[in-house]
Chain A
Amino acid sequence: MDVFWFFDWLDTSLLADISKAYGGVFAVVQMFHLLGLALMGGSVLLSDLRFLGVVMTDVPSKVVFDNTQKLFTLALVVLVLSGIFMASAVALKLYYNEAFWAKMAGLGLGILFVYLIRKPLFTRFDHDSISPAAVKVAALCSLTIWFTVAASGRWIGFS
């Protein structure tokens, strides 16, 4: 499936006009993108390291998960919205950028994992009833996905 038409449209859209013409607006949106990254990174690290028994072991994992999951969703919305705006400034360049597609693939996998598996598993069931191995594998899988997404995002700047 070729999605070039979308990047071509984005490159000439009103969003692109604004992001290319007003550096100040771009910088403010970028600031929200970075805040979203911090929020998402924080919520992922906190919940996954709790599942691995590294941090906050005196707090029930259910409490940590429920609180960080809300922040994760908020961060994801902020990141996607600000990301689309930032991408509009360099839409055609991104289309040909391998690191960008690695990031998008990771993001897609991450969203599928979180909302199809991780959230239902840890929201619907008592954490003590879940196999400890499954809890740890889920945490490692989540850390792997989001670290790769973040690193690929950074790599866009180098390629």
Chain B
Amino acid sequence: MSRQTLERMTYAFATGVFLLATWYWVRQWNSMMELLEAAYG
């Protein structure tokens, strides 16, 4: 694979990862808050 192809793959893959990670961490944050609320009110 050429350098340009690998660079484009990097951008595409990273975009997917950043979107997925944002969705996952918002979800995790909400779970953490629920746990904390259940534990400490």
Task: List the interface of chain A (C-beta within 8 A of B).
Answer: 102, 109, 112-113, 116-118, 120-121, 124-125, 129-131, 134, 137-138, 140-141, 144-145, 148, 151, 155, 158
Excluding A141-B10, A155-B28, 10 further A-B contacts by CB distance (< 8 Å) are A109-B17, A112-B13, A113-B13, A117-B6, A121-B6, A140-B18, A141-B17, A144-B17, A144-B21, A151-B28
Residue pair B9, A117 in contact (C-beta under 8 Å): yes
Q: How many A-B residue pairs have CB under 8 A?
A: 51
Collect the chain A residues with CB atoms within 8 Å of residue B28's CB: 151, 155
Please, how many angstroms separate the alpha-carbon atoms of A113 and B9 in the complex? Answer: 9
> Does the CB pair B1–A148 fall under 8 Å?
no
* B3 lies within 8 A of A140 (CB): no
Within residues 4 to 41 of chain B, which ones have a CB less than 8 A from any CB in chain A?
6-7, 9-11, 13-14, 17-18, 20-21, 24-25, 28, 35
B1 / chain A contacts, CB cutoff of 8 Å: 120
Q: How far is the CB of B20 from chain A (nearest CB, A)?
A: 8
Q: Which B residues touch A121, using CB under 8 A?
A: 3, 6-7, 10
